[in-house]
Structure 1
């Protein structure tokens, strides 16, 4: 029996009490109630504070209210007992058969276990990398590549329809400087003032010339444009390849240019004008964002007719909403904290509710240490260390897991040696080792002639899982869907990582106390089969959780 099933059972009890007139709920019977694992042993398998929450509204003493619920709830199939504690807490003990059924359900659902419908019907656009195609992705992009992807994965698992979007900053003076820098490297000329340096520029120049030998013979004005476009295509492809290797995939690669090549910017500004929030002053076009708590109004079109970056941001947001997204999520770096109010005000000026249609998450910086020294310089880029170099140094799994197990708004200083150490002190190794261990047990079981858990030939009886450590592991596995739903609702995938670490620890304690496979000449029995079912359920949960973080679940280590 899961927390969700207990919540439903309690709601059914409350509904019956209300229908009989035993209790009156002015606001109606709640659709769900909170059921949690108790922090202390001896307080049952689950606990709820429903009586403390509802008794006052019902005009009753909490313990008296709890007594009414206790009497009805104790009679529900699968519940072994209900006790009242303190001012009105209800501690619930689940029958062994009902609790063991969790393992059977996990195995039956397989890859689908943990998925919910809490966000079903919500269309979400999540933009979590916005980069110039003028150089390699670097450490500054890496955290968002992990966290943004993990947020998208848990949103999808919670039932939302998610589109992952990469915003390509491919317009403006930086693109011209980039093209001129590559051209200069190809021709052996000095890098232009404020141009791009680093070994990667020379690499791009060689690749462009090798693919288009005649490019160097073009007239000067045409040549720099040709270098810009060719190098842009190569650099963008490299960014895509780096992210693919990093297990971060995007549904849409949105070009800033495309906003301006069509009529999207004009259409977006006209929509805001229709809302009554644009005005002309000093020869410029302004948005009255101060109507919605921004610290100052924002210029959209300068007096010389040039569009501001904020005009592009505005048109881009309107474009997303017109594509049918209910919520637009932006993941921005710590240096963009000032963007929060202006983006919310922009959404309000577009006629939207900034509390439901736009969401801005701010992440803090991360530092990587190697041999006690912060990694800052790149061999290829010359400035920040690149994503590619980080993957080579640390590995995809270790880097992704470590960056995903902390709240995004907390600054991080991480040590490369600690992230790659193969010991139980390393969280990613600890969780992956647990998965490899359960996989090994299941392989050994097959060698001993056991049927695969969950198949008709396995004939496992979950009611036999009555040991204290089996109960702890079953309760941990039952929590997984709620952890995923909470991670999605709060945009905090680190909850999944911490859950996996806790569950791996619970599994190891179970394994140390409950022998799974027969020893020596011992005949296989029903308890072995039941425990193998529990082991298979554990493997499913660990694999599903690691997948939500974009981390592999190895079967051998």
Structure 2
């Protein structure tokens, strides 16, 4: 019985108890909270339901808890239910009920942990969206890992997710990129506001190889050639790096298309028509302070050019117009100001502020020998995704980026993450999975024939601890989806690996050479297989491989 199933049982039991004592069932919560006690001696699970509703029901909390304990204790799935403190209820499950979790996992397989929390929801998840002016830096790498994992978690919770990359191919940064390429092709110094690094020289050389006449035109046409060819080459590299990193997108949306299609003009005209834009000092301003922004924002500058937010406004309209219920933006640490303005833009267009959600990710630092690593081999001034993968591999890089909340800055110790030791979190989890895989191989090699498994025989303390930890996985996935925190899955995987190792060290799974195979051996092997499945499911949600040998 999973915690969710136990919560349903407690809720059903509470309704019956309330009816028996003429209490108002309307005060009962829709979902009963069930938690693991910090001290295992207090029971398998605990609930504060009696404390939560007793006052509203007009009864003493301990008395209500006692009624609930008596009713629950009569259920075959409950071994005991005891009142503690001012009205807590500690519950121990019967062995057969615990064994049901193992059976459910084995039956559900790769679907265990999935839910329908977001069934019917269409979510647009935009992340990375790095300018095509250079390789992806560490901030973008963090979003590449976290964004992809969040997409997987939301899909596991039932949502239809569109992973989208906003391709910034309109504006001054692209002009600076083109000028840098032209300068490199001519053998001139990098412009003062340009981009440096060996990759610029590489792309400039490739442009000339493809277009030998690239430098034989006037300044404007030459720059346009290097802009068009260079952006295409840079973006091809970005896509390749992301794909090798295990992150792929459903949509690559070109910012420039919003201007070329007239979407920006249409959005601006709509805001003018409904009075959300006003003219002041020769510029058109969005009344964004009406929607919680700290100041109104210029949309059309006094020289007639569109400000950056004009594209953002049209883009929100385009996303929601494509049928997305929720648009999640994953932005860098310096984009806090975008939260209010993007919500303001949505409301001004006639949508709900809740349809726009902005996640902000903090900085990432690399350490080697305790010292900060600051320079890239290729990009010059920044460390890139490619640098990180080269140093520690894809699995370690993804796991390192995902396992911590994006609300906090992240230090990655390259020596630790490249090591094959239990101090390396991804190695620790993957090793647990490989160890589990070895059990079936060992059983096959020894030719042992086990009887039918008796899951009710799983009564050892370590067996119970492992079963209860496995049963938490669906709730972990749901919380990760609702809170947009895939790091919860990584931390759970580490905890599960630790619980499994303790089980493995205390509970012989396969019989020894001179030992008669029993139904308990078979049950333990089923428990190990269930553990293997859940670890594999967790690693899949992180986009990390689950090796069978290490």
Of 383, 389, 392, the residue aligned with 2:390 is 392
Give, in angstroms, the shift of residue 434 of structure 1: 0.6
Out of 461-470 and 532-541, give the one that drifted further: 461-470
Q: How far apart are the structure 1 equivalents of 2:261 and 2:401?
A: 38
Q: How far apart are the structure 2 equivalents of 1:464 and 1:449?
A: 23
Q: How far apart are the structure 1 equivalents of 2:86 and 2:99?
A: 31
Give, in angstroms, the shift of residue 67 of structure 1: 2.0
Map of 1:453-532 to 2, 5 A cutoff?
Answer: 459-532=452-525
Out of 332-341 and 506-515, give the one that drifted further: 332-341
Give, in angstroms, the shift of residue 340 of structure 1: 2.0
- Alpha-carbon contact 1:275-1:351 (below 8 Å) kept: no
SS at match of 1:55: helix
Asked if residue 39 in structure 1 is aligned to residue 38 in structure 2, the reply is yes
SS at match of 1:334: coil
Asked if residue 98 in structure 1 is aligned to residue 91 in structure 2, the reply is no
Q: How far apart are the structure 1 equivalents of 2:190 and 2:340?
A: 39
Give, in angstroms, the shift of residue 220 of structure 1: 4.5
Map of 1:83-122 to 2, 5 A cutoff?
Answer: 83-122=82-121
SS at match of 1:92: strand
SS at match of 1:305: coil
Q: Cα RMSD (Å) of the superposition?
A: 1.8
| 1:80-99 C-alpha deviation (Å, 9 max, x unpaired) | 12111111111111110110
| 1:287-322 C-alpha deviation (Å, 9 max, x unpaired) | 111112211111100111100011111111111111
Out of 150-159 and 214-223, give the one that drifted further: 214-223
Query: What residue is the counterpart of 2:364 in the other structure?
Result: 366
Give, in angstroms, the shift of residue 20 of structure 1: 4.8
Query: What residue is the counterpart of 1:533 in the other structure?
Result: 526
SS at match of 1:129: coil
SS at match of 1:121: coil
Q: How far apart are the structure 1 equivalents of 2:95 and 2:487?
A: 31
Query: What residue is the counterpart of 1:24 in the other structure?
Result: 24
Q: How far apart are the structure 2 equivalents of 1:479 and 1:541?
A: 10
- Alpha-carbon contact 1:9-1:76 (below 8 Å) kept: no
Query: What residue is the counterpart of 1:2 in the other structure?
Result: 2
- Alpha-carbon contact 1:26-1:58 (below 8 Å) kept: no
Give, in angstroms, the shift of residue 252 of structure 1: 1.2
TM-score, normalising length from structure 1? 0.95
Give, in angstroms, the shift of residue 73 of structure 1: 1.9
Give, in angstroms, the shift of residue 447 of structure 1: 2.1
- Alpha-carbon contact 2:361-2:408 (below 8 Å) kept: yes
| 1:181-236 C-alpha deviation (Å, 9 max, x unpaired) | 22332343444442222211111122223334344445543332122111111111
| 1:435-463 C-alpha deviation (Å, 9 max, x unpaired) | 11111112111223357xxxxx9732211
Question: Any stretches of 5+ residues in structure 1 without a counterpart?
Answer: 452-456
- Alpha-carbon contact 1:500-1:542 (below 8 Å) kept: yes
Aligned residues: 550
After superposition, the Cα gap between the structure-2 partners of 1:422 and 1:224, relative to the gap in structure 1 and judged at 3 Å, is same
Give, in angstroms, the shift of residue 552 of structure 1: 1.1
Map of 1:50-449 to 2, 5 A cutoff?
Answer: 50-218=49-217, 220-354=219-353, 356-449=354-447
Q: How far apart are the structure 1 equivalents of 2:370 and 2:149?
A: 29
Out of 492-501 and 217-226, give the one that drifted further: 217-226
Give, in angstroms, the shift of residue 533 of structure 1: 0.4
SS at match of 2:56: coil
Out of 89-98 and 64-73, give the one that drifted further: 64-73
Q: How far apart are the structure 2 equivalents of 1:548 and 1:274?
A: 45
Q: How far apart are the structure 1 equivalents of 2:274 and 2:89?
A: 52
Q: How far apart are the structure 2 equivalents of 1:446 and 1:46?
A: 37
Q: How far apart are the structure 1 equivalents of 2:124 and 2:55?
A: 41
Query: What residue is the counterpart of 1:13 in the other structure?
Result: 13
Q: How far apart are the structure 2 equivalents of 1:449 and 1:120?
A: 45
Q: How far apart are the structure 1 equivalents of 2:306 and 2:332?
A: 24
SS at match of 2:334: helix
Give, in angstroms, the shift of residue 21 of structure 1: 5.7
- Alpha-carbon contact 1:398-1:419 (below 8 Å) kept: yes
| 1:26-51 C-alpha deviation (Å, 9 max, x unpaired) | 45x43211111111122111111111
Q: How far apart are the structure 2 equivalents of 1:109 and 1:167?
A: 37
- Alpha-carbon contact 2:15-2:25 (below 8 Å) kept: no
- Alpha-carbon contact 2:139-2:362 (below 8 Å) kept: no
| 1:152-179 C-alpha deviation (Å, 9 max, x unpaired) | 2211111111111111111112212222
Q: How far apart are the structure 2 equivalents of 1:150 and 1:88?
A: 40
- Alpha-carbon contact 1:205-1:231 (below 8 Å) kept: yes
Question: Any stretches of 5+ residues in structure 2 without a counterpart?
Answer: none
- Alpha-carbon contact 2:80-2:92 (below 8 Å) kept: yes
| 1:110-154 C-alpha deviation (Å, 9 max, x unpaired) | 111111111222211111212111111111211111222222221
- Alpha-carbon contact 2:19-2:25 (below 8 Å) kept: no
SS at match of 2:57: coil
TM-score, normalising length from structure 2? 0.96
Q: How far apart are the structure 1 equivalents of 2:277 and 2:14?
A: 52
- Alpha-carbon contact 1:197-1:381 (below 8 Å) kept: yes
Q: How far apart are the structure 2 equivalents of 1:370 and 1:69?
A: 57
After superposition, the Cα gap between the structure-2 partners of 1:61 and 1:352, relative to the gap in structure 1 and judged at 3 Å, is farther
